[in-house]
DNA sequence: GCCTCAGATTGCATCGATGAATGCAGCGTT
DNA sequence: AACGCTGCATTCATCGATGCAATCTGAGGC
């Protein structure tokens, strides 16, 4: 079926090692020999066995990407950038979906859950940061969207507190006073949502506005449906907000949908700011004001972290905390 | 660093083979021995080397997924379903993005482009179907969205002609007469777009409506931006349409965006039908009428095809042409 | 007491590729 | 003529796990 170095060698009348040299170019081969071997390679359609190479080399050239879900636009876009960057480095990416499940995230970290990867980029959602920090990962790890001071992993994230502050302050600056926050995740050990809530409150504090518990809404997940449901609750509640800061663009788009259904004008009756800058937001009606993390940089720096750890045997670089820039993009919903 | 069977064996005072038996359960082991070995395994944090296993087994448990782009919602959703299904089968998925580039697609098929995968699910976009059919793939192949009678690969797709016919007929039934089609791809060897155009024309024929060349618009890709640009061209043209059938929901959402910008009422002034049933379309304003392919089935049947071929050594099943059901979902844009 | 048999354990070979060391011409130097 | 050197090719061992067959042990049957 599939031919091996041995088959090529036999047919070309040379040793296995010589064929290997022709294929990988690791030692000089005489032009005439090279030609003859190459001919047989083409003839037999020889293809190196990557499993064997990986075993010998101790590296597979595969990195893992673990995200809550691929179908959410933010993670889809990020995954796309990561796959591209990996391709440029001749790596391959295997993807795992954790579905916001702590067990699924845990499984990827502990020994045995490994997937033949040289390194892992993981966006933890449900896992306790303390547990994360305590885990001795089987391979180099890059954590997205978290910032915990401990642990052996690199961290890549925007400054969530500052970004959320900026978004909220933007609404305050436009004259809004009853500003709701959508997307808290108190049921999960979720660092990202906690930091965004913190930034939201900080902005309120600075403006001397009160923290209304009823205006800080938890959601099961960060999907459009959650945003829609929560927006409906807010509008049906005793004091409807005049602005909403949603922790994700998906939440924001769900909220926007309900605002339209209720006949509210956006941004006149209610303003909305999202977070992520997904492509849908640029084409919604009106287009969505949002916080745009530099996804390209998130991808690139994550890969760079892995490159440093996987390829530097000394590996003396201490764990890094990389902060990626973000910016507020003002569009039609504010 | 990482421990091997040998290390565990030495420490537990048994042979390598016995440890292997404990790990994989392929031969009976005495309870007491099992306990002792397991203890050492836990203590050392032993993790089997999957590259070695793959080499021995001849299979890696990895399948490839090659799609034009991960960040597009349709492919993101599909990839998510495929990753889930693979996880259920204890497979891993590596993802390649072809970016609608024929060379990228070709590279994945020819020997040498392989990625250590047991099989490949590919959604060809730019590649010539004839070339595809002529290629002898290095591993079992499942083609998504194409239907060509030749070649050794399985095909999984909706009936694109019937679906496009249905979408167009829906518009005709609502009284629309000047129906544009957006998303033809004459610059690529793209079977899917060709079939949808065919269905569109068939519906027009049945209703006795003329084929207006100016109403059949090619686009560079199927993104929102392409839909927006094309919609603007249509509206600025000599005879603006009263309805649009877009070959993807993304195109449709871009078109919808422009309709809003121009102050047109949807669906009163112009109706829109999309294709794919991506989640955004359910939350747009108004919500998007669309053709919904059964993505869950596409994923499941594709995986089943691979399972049959990778695991059945006899492999006498002839290439299959699987047609997956679809349905028209009527929402607010018609 | 001897033989059989099942269960438990082991050594050896192997999957396919590559690092390290070695063999071996041919050529220039001294 | 002896020596070292360079360029090319070969042999051997190894990466870590597992299939295969052989071995070992103790229990049970006659």
Residue A332 belongs to some domain of the structure = no
**Cβ B17 to strand C below 7 Å:** yes
Q: Which nucleotide is nearest to B29 (CA to C1')?
A: C8
CA distance B312 to chain A (A): 15
A176 and A268 both lie in a single domain:
yes
- Give every strand in the sheet of B271-275, ordered side by side: B216-218, B179-184, B243-246, B271-275, B289-293, B326-329
Please check whether residues B72 and B113 belong to one and the same domain. Answer: yes
Average of pLDDT values for B146-171?
A: 89
Reported confidence tier of residue A313, pLDDT bands at 50, 70, 90: low
> pLDDT digits over A229-275, tens only?
999 999 999 989 999 999 999 999 999 999 999 999 999 999 999 99
Same domain, yes or no: B300 and B194: no
* Residue found under tokens 């691929």: A70
Residue A275 in domain: yes
CA A65/CA A83 separation, integer angstroms? 9
> How many domains, chain B?
3
Looking at the structure, tell me whether residues B165 and B178 fall in a common domain.
Answer: yes
One domain for residues A238 and A188: yes
Do A95 and A144 sit in the same domain of this protein?
A: yes
pLDDT recorded at residue B285:
86
- Is A39 part of a structural domain of the chain? yes
Same domain, A119 and A190: no
Select the residue of A92, A116, A285 nearest B257 (Cβ to Cβ).
Answer: A285
Judge if B39 and B70 occupy the same domain. Answer: no
Q: Residue B316: is its pLDDT beyond 70?
A: no
Does residue B214 form part of some domain?
yes
Residue A329 domain-assigned? Answer: no
Euclidean distance between the first and the last CA atom of chain B, given in angstroms as a whole number: 63
Q: Is the pTM of this model over 0.85?
A: yes
Same domain, A175 and A280: yes
Residues 6+ apart with CB under 8 A from A132: A109, A124, A143, A146, A148, A151, A153
Segment A1-23 shows an average pLDDT of 92
Residue A86's CATH number = 3.40.50.2300
Decide if pLDDT at A120 tops 80: yes
Distance from CA of B54 to the nearest CA of A (A): 6
Q: What is the mean pLDDT of residues A141-150?
A: 80
Determine the straight-line distance between the first and last CA of chain A, rounded to whole angstroms: 63
CA-CA distance, A21 to A27, in Å (whole number)?
6
Mutant choice from A5, A44, A51 vs B, greatest count of B C-beta within 10 A: A51
- How close, in Å, is residue A218 to chain B by CA atoms? 20
Question: Is B113 within 8 Å of B141 (Cβ atoms)?
Answer: no
Residues A196, A181 share a domain? yes
Contacts of A93 in chain B (CB under 8 A): 94-95
Give the pLDDT of residue A2: 78
Q: Does residue B112 sit within a domain?
A: yes
Per the structure, the complete domain to which residue A301 belongs is given by 60-157+295-324
CA closest to B112 among chain A residues: A47
Nearest CA in chain A to B226: A283
B110 and B193 fall within a common domain:
no
What separation in angstroms does the CA of B256 have from each of A154, B140, B272?
A: 42, 41, 7
Assigned domain for A334 exists: no
Query: Model confidence over A67-80: pLDDT tens digits?
Result: 999 999 999 999 99
Kindly state whether residues A20 and A133 are assigned to the same domain. Answer: no
């Amino acid at each position: 079926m599939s031919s091996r170095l041995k088959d090529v060698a036999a047919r070309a009348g040379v040793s296995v090692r010589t064929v290997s040299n022709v294929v990988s170019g690791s030692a000089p081969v005489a032009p005439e020999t090279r030609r003859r071997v190459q001919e047989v390679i083409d003839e037999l359609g020889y293809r190196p066995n990557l499993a064997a190479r990986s075993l010998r080399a101790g590296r597979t050239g595969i990195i893992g990407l673990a995200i809550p879900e691929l179908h959410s636009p933010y993670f889809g876009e990020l995954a796309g950038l990561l796959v591209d960057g990996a391709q440029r480095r001749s790596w391959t990416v295997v993807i795992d979906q954790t579905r916001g499940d702590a067990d699924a995230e845990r499984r990827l970290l502990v020994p045995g859950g490994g997937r033949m990867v040289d390194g892992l980029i993981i966006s933890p959602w449900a896992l306790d940061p303390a547990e994360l920090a305590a885990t001795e990962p089987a391979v180099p790890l890059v954590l997205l969207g978290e910032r915990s001071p401990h642990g052996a992993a690199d961290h890549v994230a925007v400054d969530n507190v500052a970004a959320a502050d900026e978004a909220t302050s933007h609404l305050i600056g436009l004259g809004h006073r009853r500003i709701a926050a959508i997307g808290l995740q108190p049921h999960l050990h979720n660092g990202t949502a906690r930091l965004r809530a913190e930034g939201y409150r900080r902005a309120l504090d600075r403006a001397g506005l009160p923290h209304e518990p009823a205006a800080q809404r938890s959601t099961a997940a960060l999907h459009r449906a959650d945003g829609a449901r929560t927006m409906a609750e807010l509008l049906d509640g005793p004091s409807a907000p005049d602005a909403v800061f949603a922790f994700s663009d998906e939440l924001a788009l769900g909220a926007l949908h309900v605002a339209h259904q209720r006949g509210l004008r956006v941004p006149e009756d209610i303003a909305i700011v999202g977070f992520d800058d997904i492509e849908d937001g640029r084409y919604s009606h009106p287009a969505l004001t949002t916080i745009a993390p530099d996804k390209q940089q998130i991808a690139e720096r994550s890969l760079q972290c892995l490159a440093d750890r996987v390829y530097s045997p000394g590996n003396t670089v201490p764990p890094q905390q990389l902060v990626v820039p973000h910016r507020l993009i003002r569009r039609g919903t504010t």
